[in-house]
């Protein structure tokens, strides 16, 4: 009917010609770089003019960027919030300006009327999947785990820790003996792992590494090898993101498991935005993306090939 096609064209129209500001955290990890690439491609495909701002990991730069987007009068704002707190004021300013805000890949502690929706994975579940894999792998053998946490105060760091601890709670033979932030980067992940190795009898007392993202796991793998130990066999490696390089490590027997995080948060975000702009439909406050466990049994070489050109 004409109403229906008006509606459809309305939806399409709402996406075309929109200007959207995107406050991105930075490029701390391969996954983050892929999210940026995918978001830019999704915007292009939809005729959206994307204004991109890189915050170099600083919340104050994100807040500045959002204020700039409000001043420009953009149609909508995407934010990947580096930490979970401190957003209420700037989001209230966006609300007053009637500019919808969508959160990508991380949640915040703020009233949910301050944003249209949050497109994220279930980060507690990710930690649980990682922990469940280790529980199955070690059985009732004593296992000292080194935890490399994500950025302090970020929702993934808080939630992935929570989920992993839930998984190992009923297994007293598995303990998190040391836990420190590696800020989601390879460099810091390697540095922190070097200190853990020094503190744990040259690494001989370490059974496993749980890294909140693959980039820190890759750094830890380098540190383990430089200490003369075999990652993947002497020390098991489990992490999250499923970036291409973790599959290279798996194919070499140097990593054991990862939980996939799609870099395409923008697709669902732009769909929700187009509908909201077209007919005022309010999306759910949380649009959840899938999580999938990959291990060495999942043809890591083929998975690497399928992911290597996606912008990581
Ligand atoms: C999680 C996302 C995390 C990735 C890291 O949703 O915010 O940030 O797991 C990235 O690789 O740094």
**What's the 4 CA to ligand 1 centre distance in angstroms?**
39
The pLDDT assigned to 12 comes to 46
**pLDDT of 94 higher than 80:** yes
| β pairing state of 101-104 and 76-79 | parallel
Give the number of the atom of ligand 1 that is nearest the alpha carbon of residue 156. Answer: 1
What is the ipTM score, two decimals? 0.99
Give the number of the atom of ligand 1 that is nearest the alpha carbon of residue 121. Answer: 6
The pLDDT assigned to 5 comes to 47
The pick from 104, 156, 246, 289 for probing ligand 1's pocket by mutation, whose C-beta has the most ligand atoms within 8 angstroms, reads: 156
Q: Is 29 in the pocket of ligand 1 (CB under 6 A)?
A: yes
> 136-157, pLDDT tens digit by residue?
999 999 999 999 999 999 999 9
pLDDT band of 246, cuts 50, 70, 90: very high
Question: Could you tell me what percent of the chain has a pLDDT over 90?
Answer: 95
Average pLDDT over residues 41-62: 98
Structure tokens at 129: 């999947």
**pLDDT of 7 higher than 80:** no
The pLDDT assigned to 1 comes to 43
Q: Is 32 in the pocket of ligand 1 (CB under 6 A)?
A: yes
Instruction: Indicate the average pLDDT of the chain.
Output: 95
Secondary structure (H, E, C), 17-84: CCEEEEEECCCCCHHHHHHHHHHHHHHHHCCCEEEEEECCCCHHHHHHHHHHHHHHCCCEEEECCCCC
**pLDDT of 293 higher than 80:** yes
């Amino acid at each position: 009917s004409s109403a229906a096609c008006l509606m459809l064209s309305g939806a399409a129209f709402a996406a075309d010609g929109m200007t959207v500001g995107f406050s991105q955290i930075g490029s701390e990890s391969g996954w983050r770089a892929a999210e940026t690439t995918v978001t830019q491609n999704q915007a292009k495909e939809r005729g959206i003019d994307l204004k991109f701002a890189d915050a170099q990991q600083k919340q104050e730069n994100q807040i500045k960027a959002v204020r700039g987007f409000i001043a420009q009068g953009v149609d909508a704002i995407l934010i990947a919030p580096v930490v979970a707190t401190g957003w209420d004021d700037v989001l209230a300013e966006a609300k007053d300006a009637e500019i919808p805000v969508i959160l990508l890949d991380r949640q915040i502690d703020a009233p949910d009327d301050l944003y249209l929706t949050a497109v994220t994975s279930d980060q507690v579940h990710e930690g649980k999947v990682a922990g469940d894999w280790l529980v199955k792998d070690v059985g009732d053998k004593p296992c000292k785990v080194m935890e490399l946490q994500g950025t302090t105060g970020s929702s993934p760091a808080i939630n992935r820790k929570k989920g992993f601890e839930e998984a190992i709670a009923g297994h007293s033979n598995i303990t998190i003996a040391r836990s420190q932030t590696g800020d989601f980067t390879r460099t810091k992940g390697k540095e922190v792992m070097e200190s853990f190795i020094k503190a744990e009898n040259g690494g001989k007392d370490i059974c496993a590494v749980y890294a909140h993202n693959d980039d820190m796991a890759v750094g830890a793998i380098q540190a383990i090898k430089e200490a003369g130990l075999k990652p993947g066999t002497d020390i098991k490696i489990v992490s999250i993101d499923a970036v291409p390089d973790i599959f290279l490590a798996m194919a070499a027997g140097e990593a054991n498991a990862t939980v996939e995080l799609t870099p395409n948060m923008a697709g669902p975000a732009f769909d929700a935005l187009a509908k909201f702009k077209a007919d005022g439909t309010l999306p759910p406050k949380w649009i959840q993306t899938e999580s999938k466990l990959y291990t060495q049994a999942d043809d890591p070489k083929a998975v690497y090939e399928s992911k290597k050109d996606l912008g990581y």
